Every structure is written in C-alpha cells, then in structure tokens.
Amino acid sequence: MSQPVLINDLVVRFATVNGTGSASANNMFAKAVYRMGIPVTPKNIFPSNIQGLPTWYEVRINEKGYLGRRDGIDIMVAVNAQSLKKDIESVRSGGYLIYDSTKTLGEDFIREDLHYIGIPMMSLCMQHYNDPRQHLLMKNMIYVGALCALLGMEKEVFEQLVQEQFAKKEKLIPGNIQALHLGMNYAESNFECPLPYRLERRNLNQNKILTDGNNACGLGAVFAGATVGSWYPITPSTSLMNAFEKWCTKYRIDASTGRKNFAMIQAEDELAAMGMVLGASWNGARAFTSTSGPGLSLMSEFLGLSYFAEIPAVLFDVQRSGPSTGMPTRTQQSDVLSAAYASHGDTKHILLFPSTPNECFDMTLTAFDLAEFFQTAVIVLTDLDLGMNDHLTDAFTLRDNYQYNRGKVMTAKDLDDAKVWGRYLDIDGDGIPYRTIPGTHPSKGSFFTRGSSHDPMAAYTEDGDVYADGMRRLEKKWETIRSRVPGPEIVRFDPSHNEAIIYFGTSSYAAVEAMDILQNQGIALNALRIKSFPFTEEIIEFIHAHDTIYLVEQNRDAQMRSLLMIENAIPPSKIKKVLQFNGMPITAQFISDEIQKIMQQAPIHHS
C-alpha cells in the first residue's frame, strides 16, 4: 500500500491498562506535540475502576485547530493484551498499529489493510533494566520514543520534557532518556522513519496553554477570592477541588503564621457540602462546592433554599453520563434541565457554560460575582471532557483592574445612614434587595433568614398576597439577571443565511469543525454559542433572525432546547435537535451528518 502523506493531522490512540503509569508517558507525547507548535488535544477514556482495566488516551493533532474528538484512528499504540483485538479493529483502514512485538501477534490479529509496527518493548526493557518494577514504566517511554522517530518529531523536545518531569527525582532522568532512545533507535533501525503520517514544527500555540477545565476552575476560585470550599468526592469533579486546594496551599498560606487563608472540608455528603456553602455565603465568605449528577440531585433541596432565601452559592457541576450512576467516567451535557430548575416549587438558577479551560477560569470569577450580586445560586456546568481532559486553550488572563463585585451589602455605616432597611425590600426597582453580613453592626441589620415565606422585612408571613409579591419580585430579579449574564458568542452572522447552528460547552470544538465540513459541501450556517442561562436578548434575536436552528447537545432529551422554549417562547418546530449521548465527546462528523439528515427530511408540519 502506498500511503498518502499526512502532516499535522492525525489521531493517535494509546490503548493501555489503567494504574500502570502509562498516563504520564502518553501525556508527554501530547505535550511534545504542543511544544512543536502544533495544535493538539488529548482525551482520556478511562473505566470506572482503579486498576487493571482497559483505558485509552486519544490524541488529536490538527494544525487547522480542529480539536474536537474525531472518529477514525490513524495510529494505534496497542499495549493492552485485554483489549488488543478490539483495538486493532478500531483503526481506520490504512492506519498503523504499534504493538509490543516481544511476542509475535497471532493470525487473528492481522488485518490486511493496516501497517504493523512491532517494537519489542518488553524485551528491550528486560535487556536494559534490572529492576522489574521499572519494566512497565520504561515500556511506556519506549513506545513514546518510537513514536518520536516514526512521526519525525524533535527528540530534544522529549528530552526536555523528561528533564522537567523528573526535575525533583533527578536520578530517574538517565533511565528514562535511555528508554526514549531505545524506542527511537529501534524504530529508526527497523522502519522507514518518518512514516507518511508525520508531524512538523509550526508556531500555532503562542499564548496557548494545555490544561484541563477542573484545574482552571479551581485556580479561578482562588483568584475569585473563594475562601470556603466544601465538597464530597465524585468523579469527574474531584480534581476541581484538588486543584483549588493545591493552589491555595501555594498562594493562600500566610507566610508569617503558616495559617490558611482558606478553609476546606470534605463533607459527609453533597447535601452537607451545599449546606456549608450556604452557611458560609450567608456569613459573607465566597464559598463553593463541586459535584456531578448524583450530587446535583442531592443538593436540590438546598438549591431551593438558596433561591428563595436569596443566599449566594457557587456550584460546579462537572457533568457525566446519567441517569442515576450511569457511566461515571463518560461525558454528557445532561444536567442542563435539572440544574436550571433544581428543587420543588417555582425555582430557577443561573447557569454558565464554559467551553474551554480559559473560559472556565474566567467564568469562575464571573460566577462568584453573579452569585453575590444577585444573591442566588450560580451553577457552572462543565463536563467530564472539559473538566478532566487537557485542552489547548488561551493562556489565563485577568481582566484589567478586575474588582470583585460583592453586590449590595450594607456596611455598618450604610445601616446607620439608611432610613429604613429591609432584607427583602426592592429599593432599586431591579428586584435585588440589600443584604447584611452577620456581625456588621451592634444594633442594626440583623434579620431572620428562612426558607419559609417572608415579607420584605424578612418577617414570617402566611399572607398569600405578600408571598406572591415576593415571588413576583424574584421574577423581576430574574429579568435583571437576564440582562447581566454573559451574552453569547456570535460566531458567525451573515444576514443572508437562513439557518444557524447553536451549541454550548464542549460541543464547540466539534461544531466549528462541522461548520467547515458543511461549508465545503455548500451549506453555509450562521453560528452562536450559548454561554449562560437565562438567555440574553441577543440569543433570542439571533434565533428569530433564522428560519431553522440546529441545536447541538450532548444529551438525549434536548434539554437546552427545552430551556429555550420554556423561557423564551421559541417555537419548538424551529429548533432541530442534534443529539449525541453515548458518553464520548461529540464529533464534527456526527454533527454535520445529523444536520444533513435533518435537511433531507421533509419539512415538519408546522401547526
């Protein structure tokens, strides 16, 4: 088979066993691509257990900057015997299989349409390392080295990465460098390097970083001035709190006393985690928690309290595949509806939908500002793909002169100066009352916080009209919120196009690529990315400006579409569903195929 040469446009998949240390080797490969200035995004596809099951690491390399997942594997590094059969099947015709040739592959494993690259990884390890504990780890470095040679990558980049990785355990450096070279040399001596699939240096990653959303949110919470974090561990949100703790430990310990300028508690469950957030926010600290689906369900009673008693709260929901325990290590965007209306009664919550780690950082700051300004819960909806996978993203920046917006808080002086103050009085006509922080003033500003019905002065009431007035004020506040949340990103707006694509969160990568695929087929779409709920006027106008909207979601029930209809009277027939919900990050091909399918269907009867 003669191969077309493919430069800087590849999917490389590593099939390994979890708990064997392959993660850091695989990661090094992705980072090397990044360092060569080529856009890259890796994804971990891991099982819900700790050790011994198949796990995959998929690296998409694309110099056009298409960084969503793409089906069709070009190069498979298959080092897991358990999954080998299936792994081989998953390679696209004409692709490469890199495997450990210490043992010969059986007949069963041979596909005519693939290139086989056998590297005797284990036997190289045995030859060169005495300590059997090193064998597994060095094997990983060997295939990384081989890849370097096969793809024509820069070996200095890898050597540098090894130096950095083991900066604190220097004596491990030579062994690892050696393993790299064993792989490189073997590949170079036995195969024609580089392959037709190869990587060439570019300069496309300037001012970009490679990090994950959970890290970005955790870091964002530090910069946002959050001091109280409580949480209950759950995949895929755990690493968000870990990041917060890590950064706090670095930047929030008082140098003179060694004491912490933050407090974290691992709560006994998610109900307690949210309770702590409300207690702390009530007391004037910026407080937050993070969870995933099951935790969101458990927090729903407390979220209702936040809404009705008007207590700020920031919650990160790193979504995974539901319902119930579902697929805990797979992604989805399926908590949209339950997050928006969490809790019984007439409740609504602000949602934010970041789509990159950079935006995770930035929106975390926004989340705290909104929560305090509007005195209500803000739920940042990310997902497993965004939270746990590294993404190529703009470097973190702070807005100029950024100041925390602590909202309408009465100081002792304000209390002295005010003629009348009532916790739930709408003085400004925007539905947002003034609050006090307990302990502010020796004789003024105390009030009773409760989830039962209250009048503007915070007194308990069972008067239906007073209650209804309060509910209407909350509606008015909601309107104010609608004018203040982050507006959408209008990605493309050409008035001559009648149709548009709308998406949010991690579908963005694939959506942008899908637009180009469709464009190539003569289908031009406008595009908008939703960044928050409630929906600002621009979103509504954008929708009204088109005949058909293709709404891309990673759930089964088209939950964002539901929100658009409920809140903004968007006619349902106008919004076509493009839904992927199998737990894998959505692909551009899927989106463009679905859109074309819908276009080919007879127009639906509009009643």
Ligand X SMILES: Cc1ncc(C[n+]2csc(CCOP(=O)(O)OP(=O)(O)O)c2C)c(N)n1
Q: Which residues bind ligand SF4 (CB under 6 A)?
A: 50-51
User: d(Cα 487, Cα 508) in Å, to the nearest integer?
Assistant: 16
Q: Which stretch binds ligand X (CB under 6 A): 158-166, 176-184, 227-235, 272-280?
A: 227-235
Residue whose entry in the numeric block shows the structure tokens 């959303």: 213
Examine residue 234 and tell whether it contacts ligand X (CB under 6 A).
Answer: yes
- 298 near ligand X (CB under 6 A): yes
148, 222, 315, 363: residue in contact with other proteins (rule CB under 8 A)? 222
Give me the helix-helix angle, 121-128 and 132-150, nearest 10°: 130
Of 192-200, 268-276, 348-356, 535-543, the segment contacting other proteins by CB under 8 A is: 268-276
Is 232 near ligand X (CB under 6 A)? yes
- Nearest Cα to Cα of residue 100 among 82, 124, 71, 73: 124
Closest CA to 284 of 401, 398, 368: 368
Beta strands across the sheet bearing 532-533 = 263-266, 228-231, 287-291, 313-319, 377-383, 350-352, 532-533
Q: Which is nearer to a copy of itself, 220 or 322 (CB)?
A: 322
Residue 265 lies near ligand X (rule: CB under 6 A): no
274 near ligand X, rule: CB under 6 A = no
Among a copy of itself, ligand SF4, other proteins, none, residue 172 binds (CB under 5-8 Å by kind):
none
Considering only residues 220, 295, 433, 470, which one is a binding residue for ligand X as defined by CB under 6 A?
295
CA 473 – CA 346 distance, rounded (Å): 13
Which residue in 7, 263, 327, 466 binds other proteins (CB under 8 A)? 263
Rounded Cα gap, residues 144 and 28, in angstroms: 8
Q: How many CB atoms lie within 10 A of CB 313?
A: 28
Position 88 contacts other proteins (CB under 8 A): no
Q: Which is nearer to ligand SF4, 51 or 163 (CB)?
A: 51
Q: Which residue has the tokens 């963005």?
A: 508
- Rounded least distance, CB 313 to ligand X, Å: 18
| Residue 294 interacts with ligand X (CB under 6 A): yes or no | yes
Interatomic CA distance for residues 547 and 163, integer angstroms: 56
Q: 388 exposed, middle or buried (CB, 10 Å; 0-12, 13-18, 19+)?
A: buried
The dihedrals phi and psi of 548, each to the nearest 5 degrees, come to -135, 140
Helix (H, G, I), strand (E, B) or coil at 421: coil
The phi and psi torsions of 100 (rounded to 5 degrees) equal: -85, 110
Region near other proteins per CB under 8 A, out of 5-13, 45-53, 170-178, 373-381: 45-53
State in angstroms the smallest separation of the CB of 51 from ligand X.
Answer: 12
Decide whether 44 or 554 has the Cβ nearer to other proteins. 44
Can you give the binding site for a copy of itself, defined by CB under 8 A?
47-48, 293-294, 296-298, 300-301, 304-305, 307-309, 321-330, 332, 334-335, 337-339, 341-348, 450-453, 462, 464-465, 467-468, 471-472, 475, 544, 555-557, 559, 562, 565-566, 569-573, 581-584, 607
Instruction: Round to whole Å and give the CA distance between 242 and 236.
Output: 12
Closest to a copy of itself by CB, 395 vs 471, is: 471
Residues of the shown chain interacting with ligand X in the complex, contacts defined by CB under 6 A = 232-234, 270, 294-295, 298, 325
